[in-house]
Chains A and B, each alone.
Chain A
Amino acid sequence: MIGALRNARGLATAATKWSRTSLYDFHVQNGGKMVEFAGWEMPVQYDGFGVLASHEWTRAKASLFDVSHMLQTSWVGKDRVKFIESLVVADVAALPVGSSTLSLFTNDNGGIIDDTVINKRSENGLYVVSNAGCAEKDLAHIRARLADFQNKGGDVDVKVIDDMSLVAIQGPKAVNIIGELAGSTNGLKDFKFMSGREMSLKGIPVYISRCGYTGEDGFEISVPHSEAVNLSKLILESPDAKLAGLAVRDSLRLEAGLCLYGHDLDDTVTPVEGALTWTIGQRRRTEGGFPGASKILSQIGKGAVVPRRRVGLIVMGAPAREHVEVLNPADGSVIGNITSGCPSPVLKKNVAMGYVANGFHKAGTELQVKVRGKVQKAVVTKMPFVEHQYYRG
């Protein structure tokens, strides 16, 4: 047993070159085991609270996550919608004020640069959140295109929001907890999934969206740095709320069938191959106008050739994790690879995501995977593995 434990020994070592969120000290005081992630020192889990227990707590009650390492940006200017549509596949023009959508930044080869959530925050601006691991890449890409757009007379500016932390509260009790802090008299009944609004939580001004990365009902809350600890303490006053770290995010999102960029998606994968065709707005399918549009749109519609597809798998035997080969049972040839996998705490089965060659992607298809030299059965399974609990009103 070497690998896991050598990493474990490295947990406590601090390096001043990593960034810390406004909740760093709070995490440490609460028993957080801090690790490096995407250049930030983040809690992977908390003392005395294992990943399984945290996972079950999230699905039964509510977990509080610090996700301040993610990139939050503000897009303003008369031409902001036109500009962002030149970078993403979403129909942002049609997005109602107060609504948000999952979208994808694409490159000229039709590959995915990052996945992102775009909020039409007000009549005057967009609020956009994207992955911590892609922050540098996203900003370089956006800035290059921005300069070009502005030089052609476009009225838009994109700013990094660096004065706000971001926390997520996820689980069936989240709505009760936030409702109470908001002084809501109707249990936030009108606050639907994938919408956002400004609120005051016990006097703390926040921008809050009903969304998340766990498949549960919940909220992501953009809060001033100076109030992040206060807000966290207020949330944790509820006996239903507990702090949760990065480790449990992976098992939760995988059960929910949600992709992890850098693993299930990368810049060689098109939205169609990534089973994310639904993110491409209807109007955008006819008009294009996003990078790689001709390649991507050629993969949609009758007669389209899609060489590989992202699928869900349930795997017998040992869990199949990233890089495990997927085989055709007929002849043992390699027809794909796993990009994420773990034992599902809810299903008590091994779940995985991966890519398989076209023709092997239909639900119910029986395949094989090779784990540590042993061939095991796997079956293509529709995702999510665990039903979403999103509040749609």
Chain B
Amino acid sequence: MFTRLTSRPFTRAFTAPRQGFVSLRGYATKRYTKDHEWISVTDGIGTFGISDFAQKALGDVVYIELPEVGKSFAKKENISAVESVKAASDIYAPVSGEVVAVNSSLGEEPSLINSSPEGEAWIAKIKLSNPAELDHLLDEAAYAKHCDE
């Protein structure tokens, strides 16, 4: 549904220049970082996690360090860590903002990150302090291209 909306040129004519039309309409904007995090934003709250590409490269996830609710992070600040048997990988905040929720089921079931990295295994929700940052992230097509490089 998201894709069909953006592919229809006439809807762009109604875009409010600053915030991006989809967040005004309340639809989720999904973006990716070059570091393989994804973020899906609805009404100023971004749910993020790591991409399917990332979980494949990591292998079996056995531990995840969740950020504290209420803590604020700058974009690209170290916000979490995901561990496989062999190594720990840092995760960076895709956008700046305050953590308003964390996915505590990941504590019990870290392997969810492998089975549902872009769905059930969301890591945390951030209240965006600067929505314009989203414009600098990759959309799905650009991210897919980035992974192929």
Task: Give me the interface of A with B, judged by CB distance under 8 Å.
Answer: 1-5, 8, 45, 50-53, 55, 247-248, 250-251, 318-319, 321, 342-343, 345, 372
Contacts and interface: CB of A to CB of B under 8 A. Distances in A.
Contacts of A321: 87-88
Nearest to B114: A50
B54 A51 contact: no
Nearest to A50: B60
Contact of B59 (A1, A45, A319, A343): A45
B85 A4 contact: no
Contacts of A248: 85
A284 B148 CA distance: 60
Nearest to A343: B62
Nearest to B110: A343
Contact of A345 (B65, B85, B87, B114): B85
20 contacts: A1-B35, A1-B36, A1-B58, A2-B90, A4-B87, A5-B35, A5-B89, A50-B59, A50-B60, A51-B60, A51-B85, A51-B86, A52-B85, A247-B59, A247-B86, A250-B85, A318-B81, A319-B63, A343-B62, A343-B85
Interface string B33-73: 00111000000000000100110011110110100000000
Given A4-B58, A343-B85, A372-B81, 13 more contacts: A1-B37, A1-B54, A2-B89, A3-B90, A4-B57, A45-B59, A50-B59, A50-B114, A52-B62, A247-B85, A318-B88, A343-B62, A345-B85
B89 A3 contact: yes
A271 to B, nearest CB: 28
B92 interface: yes
A248 B54 CA distance: 20
A1 B84 CA distance: 13
A53 B85 CA distance: 11
B139 interface: no
Contact of B84 (A51, A318, A372): A51
A50 B50 CA distance: 18
Nearest to B53: A5
Contact of A342 (B59, B82, B86): B86
A3 B54 CA distance: 11
Contacts of A318: 63, 65, 81, 83, 88
A157 B63 CA distance: 51
A354 to B, nearest CB: 17
Contact of A1 (B62, B86, B90): B90
Contacts of B90: 1-3
Contacts of B134: none
Contacts of B50: 1
A246 B83 CA distance: 18
Given A1-B35, A4-B89, A247-B85, A52 B60 contact: yes
B105 to A, nearest CB: 17
A126 to B, nearest CB: 35
Contacts of A55: 85
Closest 10 A-B residue pairs measured CB to CB?
A8-B57, A52-B60, A343-B62, A4-B89, A50-B60, A51-B85, A5-B57, A1-B89, A1-B36, A251-B85
Nearest to B149: A9
Nearest to B57: A8
A8 B147 CA distance: 12
Contacts of B62: 52, 319, 343, 345
B91 interface: yes
A1 B92 contact: yes
Contacts of B89: 1-5
